[in-house]
Chains A and B, each alone.
Chain A
């Protein structure tokens, strides 16, 4: 059971950067199901950058691409410019290679197409030794 495994690891701090409620709702449920997650949310890239700049420490940042005010690519660039090495995973409803490439070029560590699923989340957590 995910809960049992989660009980054996420390709490992981996740920043979810997503403007649309339906995606936040789903991600919250998946992260709750994974267990042992302290979740923070930012509704756009600018908010995410502000949180990180003001000392927010995260073990994982999940960021959407298309958002108002500041998109995920720019947020990734700015977070990396702050010297933050937290794993950043880009999310997008398009699964085009160009989308993934743009995220990686901006400084993200990984890209996964939406919708987020238990399997995709498990893979992300395993990839960054957060499982």
Chain B
């Protein structure tokens, strides 16, 4: 297996995720916590995020369809989503959640709906990109997956 080429792809992909604003420094913090005793830590945290966030997106969508809208509940759901996203360094997601919360504060239903669509798009894109990133990491195997190599 051409490890050096794989490593280059991994580094390039990670740089791209940061340069395009999908991830922030928090993701590096997660990688710093990964070690021999928790070799899949980052992937586990990310999996937790996508499990949480899928549920939250569904709940937000349902809450938006109710009438009258409960903007307090919508804000609370977006708050959870924002917190969860910030845990993995999902910068774009976090920013869009802030926009959603601002629309809740203004009781702007159309703004909330537009923001939700963006959140769903960002969510799907980030999921696909991170799945690809982890697939590449798995190919190099745990021995090569020394955290600081990817910085």
Does residue B120 face the partner (Cβ distance < 8 Å to A)? no
Does residue B52 face the partner (Cβ distance < 8 Å to A)? yes
User: Complex formed: what's the CA distance from A29 to B26 in Å?
Assistant: 14
A29 B52 Cβ-Cβ under 8 A: no
Of the candidates B45, B52, B87, the one having the most CB atoms from chain A within 10 angstroms of its own CB is B87
User: Complex formed: what's the CA distance from A94 to B9 in Å?
Assistant: 35
Report if A23-B33 is in contact (Cβ < 8 Å); known contacts: A93-B79, A93-B82, A115-B26: no
Report if A33-B83 is in contact (Cβ < 8 Å); known contacts: A20-B52, A25-B44, A25-B45: no
A29 B38 Cβ-Cβ under 8 A: yes
Within 8 A of B (CB), among A31-55: 33
A20 B33 Cβ-Cβ under 8 A: no
Return the chain A residue nearest B89 by Cβ: A115
Chain A contacts for B79, CB-based, 8 A: 66, 93-94
B87 A23 Cβ-Cβ under 8 A: yes
Chain A contacts for B38, CB-based, 8 A: 29
User: Complex formed: what's the CA distance from A91 to B33 in Å?
Assistant: 20
B contact set with A: CB distance below 8 Å? 26, 29-30, 32-33, 38, 41, 44-45, 48-49, 52, 76, 79-80, 82-84, 86-88
Known: A26-B45, A29-B38, A66-B76. 9 other contacts (CB 8 A): A20-B80, A21-B48, A22-B88, A23-B83, A23-B84, A26-B87, A29-B41, A114-B86, A114-B87
27 A-B residue pairings within 8 Å (CB atoms): A20-B80, A22-B45, A22-B48, A22-B52, A22-B84, A22-B87, A22-B88, A23-B84, A23-B87, A26-B45, A26-B87, A30-B33, A33-B33, A66-B80, A92-B83, A93-B79, A93-B80, A93-B82, A93-B83, A93-B86, A94-B79, A94-B82, A114-B83, A114-B86, A115-B26, A115-B87, A118-B29
